[in-house]
Amino acid sequence: LLKQETGKLAFVGDGINDAPVLTRADIGIAMGGLGSDAAIEAADIVLMDDQPVKIAAAICIARKTVRIVQENIVFALTVKAVVLVMGALGKAPMWLAVFADVGVAFLAILNAMRCLYTEKDKK
């Protein structure tokens, strides 16, 4: 398996002889319906049925998940930095510090729950 310097290599497999290639690929995708345990264990992504069309849906879900994670990180760090500066200036009451810790984590969890809903669910 040769890798180029640019781009990513994705490999889709389902058999026991695919496990080494799934491990070496940048993105290993195992077809779980009839796939072997070794291929499922070696893969980064496991599709639970043997429909290659689902790879496009998995990519969309992954992109949405990354976007939501980035939103949560930016939101949490921004709120915590603002409260930290306000605390250093003596302007942050205790309830605001608690919100910056617990409240932001709770809001990030609620925002992450958007990953549960896909375009398929809207139809």
Domain for residue 89, yes or no? yes
Q: Are 69 and 116 found together in one domain?
A: yes
Q: Are 104 and 76 in contact (CB under 8 A)?
A: yes
The predicted structure's pLDDT at residue 81: 96
- Minimal CA–CA distance to 50: which of 86, 92, 14, 95? 14
Q: Residues 59-116: pLDDT tens digits?
A: 888 899 999 999 999 999 999 999 999 999 999 999 999 999 999 999 999 999 998 8
* pLDDT, tens digit, 9 for 90 and up, residues 37-70: 888 888 888 888 878 888 888 888 889 999 999 9
**36 in the same domain as 74:** no
Nearest to 112 by CA among 81, 69, 78: 69
Domain match, 16 and 39 both: yes
Residues 43 and 87 in one domain: no
pLDDT at 6 over 90: no
Range of the domain at 74: 60-122
* 84 & 118 share domain: yes
At 50 the pLDDT is 79
Supply φ then ψ for residue 66, to 5 degrees: -60, -40
In angstroms, rounded to a whole number, what is the distance separating the alpha carbons of residues 45 and 30?
Answer: 6
- Residue 102 lies inside a defined structural domain of this protein: yes
Same domain, yes or no: 105 and 74: yes
- Measured CA to CA, the distance from residue 116 to residue 76 in angstroms comes to 21
Is residue 75 within 8 Å of 107, Cβ to Cβ?
yes
SS3 at position 86: helix
Q: How many domains does the chain have?
A: 2
